Structure 1
Amino acid sequence: MYMARDWKDYEIIDTGGGEKLERWGDIILRRPDPQIIWPLPKETSRWKDVHGHYHRSSSGGGQWEMKKSIPDSWSISYGKLKFHLRPTNFKHTGLFPEQAANWSWMMDKIGGAGRKIQVLNLFAYTGGATVAAASAGASVVHVDAAKGMVQWAKENVQLSGLGERPVRFITDDVFKFVQREQRRGNKYDAIIMDPPSYGRGPGGEMWKLEQNLYPFLESCMDILSDNPLFLLINSYTTGISPTVLENMLAMTMKSRYGGKLSSGEIGLPITSSGLNLPCGILGRWES
């Protein structure tokens, strides 16, 4: 398991009963997590003394119960990287802290490349990977279909003091953007993608990861440079093994460029129990 252990501003305090108790800076939140199928032996006072508790609805979705006043948004740091947070209607805060394991890896790869690296971040959300890649010296193209998420990513880049770095923010359908880059002949040294399980494009196009990920990955081969540095796939789709991602990368990246493959779960430590919480999977190819 690839663990994000170096956080100071984030912590999973405790888990149980389908929920996790988290510290985001000075803000304590209680949120559901489908991986936590073990019981909570005792609901201590700390579980009740939270700023916010997200309750999932039996009919889908859910809502926040705010028990203490919190700012509309606040920020936390991971080393020199800084991120704005705010509770969303879908239980998230705008950041997936387990991804710090990938940020550190890609920063090391970019910093050690000894050349200028052009990174394409697809399904880029609020830009955690964009901030990490830019901080390591890469030029970054950040693509997401949601205008609000792209704006949030811009704020994170500015917050981290990287506003002068070469980062392009594109609000667009990811698949159409890749097709246009093919026609334009643009090339990238590294690609990061975090595709959803399901999605619908602006023209009603359906995306299902199990059916569409491989052909999309194949299409990305045409926009890689002759000497690529890495390709990273993240996934939160339940039922997909890390080996599946590694197999796809073997059939595309390794067959064309050689290099090294790795895959596995990505996770976070739980302070109270010393256990690890699995949070998703990754597949990596590197030169």
Structure 2
Amino acid sequence: MNGLSPNFVTLISEPRTDYTLIDSGAGRKYERYGDKSFIRPEPQAMWQPALSDWDADAEFIPGSDDEGGGRWYNHRPVPTDGWPLCWNDEVTFNAQCTPFRHLGFFPDMDPVWRWMRGKLTGLAEPDAMNLFGYTGVGTLALSAVGAKMVHVDASKKSVAQARVNAEMSGMTDRPVRWIIDDAAKFAAREVRRERRYDAILLDPPKYGRGPDGEIWRLEEDLPPLIADCRRLIDANSRCLFLTVYAVRMSAMALGALLKSHFGDLPGRVEFGELAVREQTRGLLLPTAIFARWSQD
């Protein structure tokens, strides 16, 4: 194995129809989701905005606590039950203002899904798993190129929305297992079942709860989960991708974690950041850190 690549990789989400970062600065970002625009907090936007007027449909104002509180304030009517968007002319899904300041999907994952799809090219119905799969846009993006998917999330509401998104995309007949479960417990059971996967996507939160009250703490629980994922991957597998948001952690540390478990396999481990390109000036707004293993 080539080991841990010393090159820092940046995966960039470019402006597109379903999502565009219009402008950013002063701790906020101005975004377009389809035909609707929003303002959300963004601590990493430490520069000044390029535009003087952000005419958004709604803005999320954070609360005074440190637990992610806050609420949306509408300047124009925004459908409370959401509105349809389409990724890559293949996956139709419902965007919606959530209490957690998100809008029903993570648009900066676009280059991740494209990279994984490229790694699965040439395989007939590869087996892939999406842990912490949220509303399923990534699951459907991989399913669209023929992958047999296992989608795992602890939230009944998120999995229900993922099923709706599959229906909106005309993909209800695709081989997808929709699993409501604690991701770590499910992965451990898959190891005991001696399952294997061609690709695994992980997007774990910093903190979370499973359906039976299980507690997820990233720093404590990620290493054993990665160890189990290694047992689900073999020398014929294609890739594993790990993203981490909003933590005081280094991308290099994630890369070292993957290398410690995947170092015996052919291929390489790389690490870096996800970023979104701002439309107005072309600035790159960092959003997450990642590490990935793949066959060359």
TM-score with structure 1 setting the length: 0.92
Distance in 2 separating the partners of 1:117 and 1:256: 22
3-state DSSP class of the match of 2:149? strand
Distance in 1 separating the partners of 2:219 and 2:259: 17
User: Would you say 1:142 and 2:148 are equivalent positions?
Assistant: no
Corresponding position of 2:58: 52
The 1:201/1:158 distance shift into structure 2, 3 A limit, reads closer
Matches within 5 A, 1:163-242: 163-202=172-211, 204-242=213-251
Q: CA deviation at 1:220?
A: 1.8
3-state DSSP class of the match of 1:282? strand
- Please point out which of 62, 77, 80 is paired with 2:70: 62
Q: Look up the equivalent residue of 1:98 and give its one-letter code.
A: D
Distance in 2 separating the partners of 1:264 and 1:59: 30
- Pairwise CA RMSD: 1.7
Unaligned runs of at least 5 residues, structure 2:
1-9
Corresponding position of 1:257: 265
3-state DSSP class of the match of 1:256? coil
Corresponding position of 1:87: 97
Corresponding position of 1:284: 292
Deviation digits for residues 132-161 of structure 1 (CA, Å, limit 9, x no counterpart): 110011000000000000011112222222
User: Is this contact kept in 1: 2:181–2:210, CA < 8 A?
Assistant: no
Matches within 5 A, 1:265-280: 265-280=273-288
Distance in 2 separating the partners of 1:59 and 1:43: 29
Distance in 2 separating the partners of 1:246 and 1:238: 15
User: Is this contact kept in 1: 2:199–2:238, CA < 8 A?
Assistant: yes
User: Is this contact kept in 1: 2:273–2:286, CA < 8 A?
Assistant: yes
Distance in 1 separating the partners of 2:272 and 2:175: 31
Q: For this pair of structures, how many residues does the alignment match?
A: 282
Q: CA deviation at 1:102?
A: 0.5
The 1:244/1:70 distance shift into structure 2, 3 A limit, reads same
Distance in 1 separating the partners of 2:150 and 2:242: 16
3-state DSSP class of the match of 1:191? strand
User: Is this contact kept in 1: 2:57–2:76, CA < 8 A?
Assistant: yes
User: Is this contact kept in 1: 2:82–2:94, CA < 8 A?
Assistant: yes
Corresponding position of 2:108: 98
The 1:138/1:67 distance shift into structure 2, 3 A limit, reads same
Corresponding position of 1:22: 31
Q: Which has the higher contact order (CA 8 A, sep 6+)?
A: 2
Distance in 1 separating the partners of 2:153 and 2:126: 20
Q: CA deviation at 1:124?
A: 0.7
Distance in 1 separating the partners of 2:105 and 2:278: 18
Q: Look up the equivalent residue of 1:128 and give its one-letter code.
A: V
Distance in 1 separating the partners of 2:216 and 2:72: 29
3-state DSSP class of the match of 2:264? helix
| Worse-superposed segment, 131-140 or 217-226 | 217-226
Q: Look up the equivalent residue of 2:277 and give its one-letter code.
A: P
Q: CA deviation at 1:36?
A: 1.4
| Worse-superposed segment, 263-272 or 235-244 | 235-244
Deviation digits for residues 53-97 of structure 1 (CA, Å, limit 9, x no counterpart): 111111351011111112221122221222210000111101111
Distance in 2 separating the partners of 1:266 and 1:193: 14
Deviation digits for residues 37-65 of structure 1 (CA, Å, limit 9, x no counterpart): 22347632xx1x32111111113510111
Distance in 2 separating the partners of 1:42 and 1:166: 46
Q: CA deviation at 1:184?
A: 2.1
TM-score with structure 2 setting the length: 0.90
Distance in 1 separating the partners of 2:241 and 2:49: 35
Deviation digits for residues 217-271 of structure 1 (CA, Å, limit 9, x no counterpart): 0022222345111111011032212111211111111x22121222111111111
